[in-house]
DNA sequence: TCGAGGTACTAGAGCGCTCTAGTCCGGAGT
DNA sequence: ACTCCGGACTAGAGCGCTCTAGTACCTCGA
């Protein structure tokens, strides 16, 4: 920087002004400084820049490396944040790197706000973090005081799926749940309440599942066993798309035709679900919408807006594809 | 830091020593400083720490947000780098954020070395980057002078797959290629040369594909058309697992049984391929191996080792699962 | 003619660390 | 007794920026 200043025949401060696009320099000088910088291959040091500034403008994002939906959210966050004066810092977690380690890194960077995608941290930890910084939880319930969260309306989404199946003529529906994954409880509960609403004489079955393809595949035998009995379900609503994809594979391998024998509805509208051949009917939660709300929450809290942190619920929408149809005397036979 | 020093009754320098785990402090003092820091909720500022130090120890990693295999590599990199004194900085790219933007960020952080996963940048750009920093390209050819690269042996992998199919008794094999994706050319070429070796009288067919599930699904009609003719292939080797998964779905939807009518082999051993129901036979490239070699290259160049940058080729291995079997008079009928 | 006010620019003090060059002190060697 | 050495600790100068408080100069209205 010193060198650039010397070459352009100005002071260091002027160089700083030019590179910050701050007012206080004439057009000609700007030109001269930029030229000198280009010749010397100078680009400002990001760390030093942040150090000197009182604020860092950094938004730390912790995400699950293995979760495709998180990747979508991260991408959306990059786009939302661009040009806002803030900046995204990524820290991934997964087996091999704990969420705690990921957050540690983010904190070390002096991020001003933290965005946690689908955190599995205990509520107390979240509350402790939120005490120091604005904390936005995405795609999961905040749960802790002072933590704001942005998530899809899980119950509403399940209701949407069930209504779709009912309107197709299905009267017996099963649910493959998400185990202890974020959102699983809400979805299971919504399914159960739909069950008592539509079928007051007896509950619809819930099969244990989980958030991944493997969980879905593992749930297949239990589900297939249900189909052999009279009064068997003709449709299934699955916790999420990845689980549904695993289930779908396993069902088809077992000779069960979808949607002829069984209609399947997922949740998330994962990128994979629109692939021809998968073509899964599902409930879509919009990553761009979740990302922009999360960013608004973070900035809102940062910029002294007293907007109460709290749960922000986004309405999902139904995407009808090829895995649902009206029941046609399928596997109950 | 000032406050911590005061509270512990020592100088700032001592606090620094303690937090760097540097020699020059007694056990008792260390204890006292740590306690004071804990009480004050102090944790060192990462940026300032790097600033003061002459080196940053930062390894910038640019990866594709949508690529599950990249996620695996990133995870492996985190593990390899941990405890080495270096640190990973992530920057994702995808539609909506160019690779150039991702690298820009990394450069701003003053990363000492750059690791680019499957870059699609022009060779000249890579060369220019490599002029300033050690640059390691992973899962693609380096191509430019001064750029080192770590990748699986694409040709060897294809050979492995073809030999497996031959040993099962297949004599006519097709290939769905990867279009312009990194590695696609090498794999296609290896397939063609296997073709001329085994079938000097006429080449095996190559169907255009691509790196994603959608590409695989799109390739299905062309492949199915081949199966109707006499002398049709009884097996197919697909560019990568995601493409194979899309293809698999589409084939099965069209009533083609795998592996009875057609054996399918992928490439990568994507996480999804081991899912029950997909259960894809494939060629595995070990992410941990690629990651650790990439790290070694980076550190090697960084620490003044004159080890010539160049292509480092890792041998892949065959993973036999459920999508291959011996041909049983399948779709040729 | 004088200053008021604005623009272009500079000096220099931080930001929160690390690191070099010390100082201080207690014990071993002679 | 003296020096000498090494471990524990400190002072203070950076690192590469930003930012506040200025200086110099120019223009304009009274």
Q: Which residue is nearest to nucleotide D18 (CA to C1')?
A: A52
Say if CB B208 and CB B180 are below 8 A apart.
Answer: no
Answer yes or no: do A281 and A294 share one domain.
no
Hey, are the CB atoms on A71 and B74 less than 8 Å from each other?
no
Q: Rounded to a whole number, what is the distance in Å from the CA of B87 to chain A's nearest CA?
A: 10
Strand D contact at CB of residue B45, distance < 7 A: no
Q: How far apart are CA A165 and CA A128, in angstroms?
A: 43
Q: Which domain, by its residues, includes A39? A: 2-44
pLDDT digits (tens, 9 = 90+) for A202-239: 899 999 999 988 999 999 999 999 998 888 999 999 99
Residues B218 and B178 in one domain: yes
Q: pLDDT tens for residues B180-193?
A: 988 999 999 999 99
In angstroms, the CA A19 to CA A29 distance is 12
- CA dist A72 and B94 (Å) reads 10
Distances (CA, A) of B70 to A26, A124, B92, B133, B322: 46, 33, 10, 22, 25
The answer to whether A180 faces chain B, any CB pair under 8 Å, is no
Residue B85 lies in a domain: yes
The verdict on B255 touching A (C-beta cutoff 8 Å) is no
- Chain B residue closest in CA terms to A74: B65
**What percentage of chain A has pLDDT greater than the value 70?**
97
Identify the three-state secondary structure at position B192: helix
Residue A266 Ramachandran class (φ > 0 left, ψ -120 to 50 alpha, else beta): beta
Picking from A109, A106, A115, the residue whose alpha carbon sits closest to that of residue A135 is: A115
Residue–nucleotide distance: B178 CA to C22 C1' (Å): 65
Of all nucleotides in the shown strands, which has a C1' nearest the CA of B54?
D15
pLDDT at B333: 33
Which tens digit of pLDDT belongs to each residue from A234-267? 999 999 999 999 999 889 888 899 999 999 999 9
Q: What pLDDT, on a 0 to 100 scale, did the predictor assign at position B330?
A: 44
* A319 within some domain: no
The reply to whether A31 and A133 lie within a common domain is: no
**Per-residue model confidence (pLDDT) at position B306:** 61
What is the C-alpha to C-alpha distance for residues A290 and A204, in angstroms, rounded to an integer? 31
Nearest nt to the B12 alpha carbon by C1': D10
The lowest-confidence range among A256-265, A305-314, B176-185, B245-254 is A305-314
Residue of A nearest to B104 (CA): A43
Quick one: pLDDT band at residue B331, thresholds 50, 70, 90?
Answer: very low
Same domain, A281 and A187: yes
Nearest to A150 by CA among A319, A300, A304, A303: A300
Q: Does residue A306 surpass a pLDDT of 70? A: no
pLDDT value, residue B229: 85
Tell me the per-residue pLDDT of A78-120, one tens digit each, with 9 for 90 and over. 999 998 989 999 999 999 999 999 999 999 999 999 999 999 9
- Does any domain span residue B327? no
- CB A249, CB A214: distance < 8 Å: no
Mean pLDDT lowest for which of A168-177, B120-129, B248-257, B281-290? Answer: B248-257
CA distance A177 to A174: 10
Q: What pLDDT band is residue B332 in, cutting at 50, 70 and 90?
A: very low
Segment A168-188 mean pLDDT: 94
Domain count, chain A: 3
B165 lies in the same domain as B279: yes
Q: Which nucleotides of D are covered by protein (CB under 7 A)?
A: 7-12, 14-20
Question: Do residues A13 and A101 both lie within one domain?
Answer: no
The residues in B 182-221 lying below 8 A from A, measured between CB atoms, are 213-214, 216-218, 220
| Total beta-carbon pairs less than 8 A apart between chain A and chain B | 143
Q: A93 and A70, same structural domain?
A: yes
Q: Which residue is nearest nucleotide D20, judged by alpha carbon to C1' distance?
A: A13
The nucleotide minimizing the C1' distance to residue A51's CA is: C15
Q: Please judge whether B65 and A44 are an interchain contact, meaning their C-beta atoms are less than 8 angstroms apart.
A: no
Strand D reaches within 7 A of the A26 CB: no
Residues A174 and A243 in one domain: yes
Residue A64 lies in a domain: yes
- The verdict on A167 and A248 lying in the same domain is yes
CATH of the domain at B243: 3.40.50.2300
Specify whether A171 is located in the same domain as A251: yes
Same-domain status, B164 and B277: yes
A276-305 residues touching B, CB cutoff 8 A: 276-278
Is B320 among the domain residues? no
C4 C1' to A50 CA distance, Å? 37
A281 and A319 in contact (C-beta within 8 Å)?
A: yes
Kindly report the nearest CA distance between residue A117 and chain B, in angstroms.
15
Shortest CA distance from B243: residue in chain A: A275
Residue B122 lies in a domain: yes
Domain-embedded: residue B102:
yes
Kindly report the nearest CA distance between residue B214 and chain A, in angstroms: 5
For residue A330, being part of any structural domain is answered with no
Q: Does the beta carbon of A54 lie under 8 angstroms from any beta carbon of chain B?
A: no
Asked if B313 reaches chain A (Cβ–Cβ under 8 Å), the answer is no
Expressed in angstroms, the distance from the first to the final Cα of chain A is 79
Task: Tell me: do A261 and A305 sit in the same domain.
Answer: no
Residue A257 in contact with partner chain B when CB distance is under 8 A? no
Contact state of B71 with A71 under an 8 Å Cβ cutoff: yes
List the structure tokens of A134.
């604005």
- From B66, B72, B272, residue closest to A71, measured CB to CB: B66
Structural contact between residues B275 and B242, judged by C-beta atoms closer than 8 angstroms: no
| CA distances for B177 relative to A187, B158, B188, angstroms | 41, 11, 6
**Across the interface, do A246 and B276 touch by the CB < 8 Å criterion?**
yes
Give A-chain residues touching B75 at CB under 8 angstroms. 65-66, 92, 94-97
**Residue with tokens 């391929």, as numbered in its chain:** B273
CA A105 – C1' C17 distance (Å)?
Answer: 17
């Amino acid at each position: 920087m010193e060198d650039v200043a010397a070459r352009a025949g100005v002071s260091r401060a002027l160089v700083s002004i030019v590179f910050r696009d701050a007012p206080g320099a004439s057009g000609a000088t700007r030109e001269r400084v930029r030229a000198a910088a280009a010749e010397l291959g100078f680009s400002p040091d990001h760390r030093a820049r942040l150090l000197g500034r009182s604020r860092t403008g950094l938004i730390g994002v912790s995400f699950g490396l293995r979760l495709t939906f998180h990747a979508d959210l991260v991408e959306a966050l990059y786009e939302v944040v661009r040009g806002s004066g803030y900046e995204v810092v990524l820290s991934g977690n997964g087996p091999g790197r704990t969420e705690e380690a990921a957050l540690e890194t983010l904190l070390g960077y002096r991020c001003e706000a933290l965005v946690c995608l689908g955190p599995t941290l205990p509520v107390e930890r979240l509350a402790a973090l939120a005490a120091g910084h604005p904390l936005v939880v995405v795609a999961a319930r905040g749960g802790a005081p002072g933590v704001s969260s942005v998530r899809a309306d899980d119950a509403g989404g399940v209701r949407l799926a069930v209504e779709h199946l009912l309107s197709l003529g299905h009267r017996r529906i099963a649910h493959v749940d998400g185990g202890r994954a974020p959102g699983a409880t809400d979805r299971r509960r919504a399914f159960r309440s739909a069950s008592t609403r539509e079928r007051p004489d007896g509950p619809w079955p819930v099969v244990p599942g989980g958030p991944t393809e493997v969980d879905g595949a593992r749930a297949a035998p239990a589900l297939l066993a249900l189909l052999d009995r009279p009064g068997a379900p003709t449709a299934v609503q699955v916790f999420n798309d990845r689980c549904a994809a695993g289930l779908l594979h396993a069902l088809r391998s077992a000779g069960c035709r979808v949607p002829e024998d069984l209609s399947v509805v997922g949740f998330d509208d994962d990128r994979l679900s629109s692939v021809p051949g998968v073509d899964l009917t599902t409930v879509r939660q919009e990553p761009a919408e979740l990302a922009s709300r999360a960013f608004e929450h973070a900035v809102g809290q940062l910029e002294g807006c007293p907007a109460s942190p709290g749960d922000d619920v986004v309405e999902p929408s139904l995407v009808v594809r090829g895995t649902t149809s009206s029941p046609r005397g399928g596997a109950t036979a």
